[in-house]
């Protein structure tokens, strides 16, 4: 699984974050989700 944070001309973008990877990341800790620029999962 590779999700990348790219900064190009001062704009940050998360690249390669598919729905499946987003689902998997919901099981990670809040700190890890923040790293991937994700908010807390819906209950």
Contact status, residue 16 vs residue 6, Cβ threshold 8 Å: no
pTM of the model: 0.52
Q: CA of 28: how far to CAs of 7, 9, 15, 33, 43, in Å?
A: 24, 30, 18, 6, 14
Boundaries of domain holding 20: 4-35
d(C-alpha 4, C-alpha 17), whole Å = 8
Per-residue pLDDT of the chain (43 residues), as tens digits, is 677 878 899 888 888 888 898 888 888 888 887 777 655 445 4
Q: Tell me how many degrees the CA angle 19-13-25 measures, rounded to the nearest 5.
A: 35
Number of domains, the chain: 1
Does 43 fall in a domain? no
What pLDDT does residue 9 have? Answer: 94
Does 42 fall in a domain? no
What pLDDT does residue 1 have? Answer: 63
């Amino acid at each position: 699984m590779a999700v990348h944070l790219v900064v190009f001309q001062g704009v940050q973008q998360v690249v390669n974050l598919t729905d499946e990877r987003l689902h998997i990341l919901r099981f990670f800790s809040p700190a890890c989700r923040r790293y991937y620029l994700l908010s807390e999962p819906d209950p």
